[in-house]
Amino acid sequence: MAHEEHRRAEPLSGGRRGRWLSRALIAGGLLAGLAVVALALWPDADQTPLLPTPAPTDPPTVRPLEIAVVEYPTPLPTLPPRIVRAPVDWILPTADPQTVAQALAQPVGGGDEIVRRELNPLTILPPRSRSEITTYTVKPNDTLQTIAERFGLQQSTIIWSNDRFYVNAMRIGLELTILPVDGVYHRVDEPQTLRSIAEQYGVDPYTIIDSEFNNLYGATPDVILPEGLFVVVPGGTGSTEPIYWDPGIVMTSSDNSSQPRGAGVRAGTETALFAVGDPGSCGVQTVTGGSPPVNPPIYRNYRITQDFSWTHGGIDLAVPEGTPVFAAGGGTVIFKGWSTWGYGYTVVIAHGGTLSLYGHLNGAFVGCGEVVTPGQNIAVTGNSGRSSGPHLHFEIRGGSGAPVNPWNYQSF
């Protein structure tokens, strides 16, 4: 022990002091290195330490901002476009108002009859979709009624503007003249004055002169129009004589002498030839077993879609296709088949002094020359020929061949 204490007490020699100094330097270097590493691994002071995320909570209710109402200025109206007319380098002469009034007050024309022109500065023309005369080509299923409705005209206007014979036939491909207004399209067959044309159709002469379709401005009622000229007569009224299919009825008496149609068909004493040349014509047939057509041609419910008139020679009874059709009276079948005059499949029965016609059929149960009894089922309805829908076209004709009103024979 004394020896160890003695060793501790003795001072360090130069060699020992150097070893301790080296060890101290090494230890200091290690500590400095550890400090640098510790500083590199230590989180930045600016970074937020990782802490547990708190549970989400509802955001606080924020009162919406109140937006003040802004008064916008009232928009100015849109001005219509200005029409700038091209300048002209001439001026039309203008008469003195008193001179114009005196001229208009003067009578027009000569003779005892004086026609004065009436001034109407407030005339308002009705709206029209067409401003000129047009041509229409007849198509399948067209009728006089459907064509008139298509152009907003009366049926009479189409009749008075075309050849009555061809209007009645209304064959497919027929070209019809269509006026822009109701009235008459008059053809001057021989030179005549505007006054005579106006009197013929019941209008004032200036109705024709002032019409925009005639190019007659400045004319007077006594102007003579040349042959072949066409003029529009707005509001004019033409002939109301019945138009009808004239098939050509030839009747021969028992002594083989030809008889006029007006003599009628007398059962048992006459032969009848109806619509010579038509596919459904039965040729010459002896008329027997005739009785008046006083029975209804259809017993089921029907609707009258077009009544008898001078423009329509029968009554249209609308029914479904296949509805039975019955003979209105006893007689002989003189036509059974297709009619080229728009009736489609047709049956015609001679009752003696009268004929009954059943048009737009779907077929027939009788044959040429067959004698039928009143109420016999002769056919079924259809939609054949110039028809706008399923119906029966029923006609009664007198001995002259002209249609007569069916209401004179039976009630519908």
Q: Which domain holds residue 374?
A: 249-408
280 with 401, same domain: the answer is yes
Answer yes or no: is 279 within a domain: yes
Query: Which residue among 181, 205, 234 closes a domain?
Result: 234
Residue 20 confidence (pLDDT) above 50? yes
Identify the domain boundary among 172, 206, 234.
Answer: 234
pLDDT over 90, % of the chain = 42
Examine the domain organization and report whether 281 and 390 are in the same domain.
yes
CB 314 within 8 A of CB 353: no
Alpha-carbon distance of 289 to 332, in angstroms, equals: 7
How does pLDDT run across 70-129, given as a tens digit for each residue?
A: 455 555 565 666 665 555 444 445 566 676 667 666 655 554 554 454 444 444 444 445
Looking at the fold, whether 257 and 400 belong to one and the same domain comes out as yes
The DSSP code sequence of 74-94 is PPPPPPPPP--PPP-S-----
Residues 164 and 303 in one domain: no
Q: 185 with 225, same domain?
A: yes
Per-residue pLDDT of 150-178, as tens digits, reads 999 999 999 999 988 778 777 788 899 99
**pLDDT tens digits for 187-239?**
999 999 999 999 999 999 999 999 999 989 889 999 999 999 999 999 999 98
Q: Considering the domain boundaries, does residue 76 fall inside one?
A: no
Q: How many CB atoms lie within 10 A of CB 40?
A: 7
Same domain, yes or no: 227 and 270: no
* CB neighbour class for 160 (10 Å; exposed up to 12, middle 13-18, buried from 19): buried
Question: Which strand (E) or helix (H) includes residue 318?
Answer: strand 315-318
Task: Please tell me whether residues 259 and 221 are part of one structural domain.
Answer: no
- Give domain status of residue 119, yes or no: no
Residue 80 inside a domain? The answer is no
pLDDT (0 to 100) of residue 179: 95
Question: In CATH, what number is assigned to the domain containing residue 403?
Answer: 2.70.70.10
In a domain, residue 82? The reply is no
Q: What is the CATH number of the domain that holds 225?
A: 3.10.350.10
Whether 266 and 378 map to the same domain: the answer is yes
What secondary structure does DSSP assign to 334-385, as a single string? EEEEEETTTTEEEEEEE-SS-EEEEEEEEEES--TT-EE-TT-EEEEEB--S
Mean pLDDT confidence for 257-274: 56
Please check whether residue 41 lies inside any domain of the structure: no
Written as six digits, the tokens of 228 are 């072949």
Domain count for the chain, please give it: 2
Report how far residue 144's alpha carbon sits from residue 153's, in angstroms, rounded to the nearest whole number.
11
DSSP 3-state percent helix, strand, coil across the chain (nearest 5): 20, 25, 55
Whether 47 maps to a domain, the answer reads no
269 shares its domain with 229: no
